[in-house]
């Protein structure tokens, strides 16, 4: 679903799920930095490993 479709959803839990997913992603990035581990994400159709050092350089604390 697109962000526009999410905002127009009849079920109020649907738009809230986007907020929850963003919050969970941020929490995962912060945990990776604290534990000095990498995260794996899907970016441009590929699986990408992002190290804790790369996250730190991007400003994740």
Q: Are 30 and 61 in contact (CB under 8 A)?
A: yes
* Residue-range domain boundaries for the chain: 3-57
Provide the token pair at 57.
């350089």
pLDDT digits (tens, 9 = 90+) for 12-46: 888 888 889 999 999 999 999 999 999 999 999 99
Q: What is the pTM of this model?
A: 0.80
Q: Which of 6, 57, 61 is nearest to 29 (CA)?
A: 61
């Amino acid at each position: 679903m697109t962000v526009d479709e999410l905002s127009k959803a009849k079920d109020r839990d649907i738009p809230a799920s986007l907020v929850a997913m963003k919050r969970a992603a941020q929490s995962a990035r912060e945990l990776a930095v604290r534990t000095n581990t990498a995260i794996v994400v899907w970016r441009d159709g590929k699986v990408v490993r992002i190290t804790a050092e790369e996250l730190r350089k991007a400003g994740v604390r």
